[in-house]
Amino acid sequence: MKLEKMVFDADGGIKVELRPELIVLQYAGSNYLTYVPVSVSYEGQEKEGGLVYDPPTKHFITPLTDFFPEAAACNTEVGSYLGRIYSSLLQQGGVKVREQVYDFANDQWVDSNIFPTFNMYQAEVISRVNPDHPEK
């Protein structure tokens, strides 16, 4: 069985479709940004994009009102709630991780690694930082 998407009806009439994928953008050496591809709907309109996700705090940083500012009634706790759910999926292995680096020569993001689970990604990152770590 494979999870393809999660759909949530948030406060204020916003519908959020999260995809089970975490994209890690690496830039300027060790700096990175993580986001989750989403589709956000409000009053019959739909917009594609990404929500910035902070794994240590288990929160989405991007507010849903970035997609539809007129939906100001949307509860600010939604990002926290969805982040905790997404964190659980990460830990259970339900989310793949796609690592991308910026190709300055071609002015685009390109895949550098794809990991079937977040735990496999974490083990790889640990081995990069500490090659002698037992999780390698």
**What is the mean pLDDT of each successive set of 10 residues along the chain, which is 136 residues long?**
77 84 80 88 92 89 85 68 87 89 83 90 84 63
Number of CB atoms found within 10 A of residue 21's CB = 15
Structure tokens of 96?
């793949």
Ordered alpha helix ranges (H), the chain: 78-92, 118-129
Number of CB atoms found within 10 A of residue 68's CB = 18
Whole-number Å distance between alpha carbons of 132 and 36 = 31
* pTM, two decimal places: 0.80
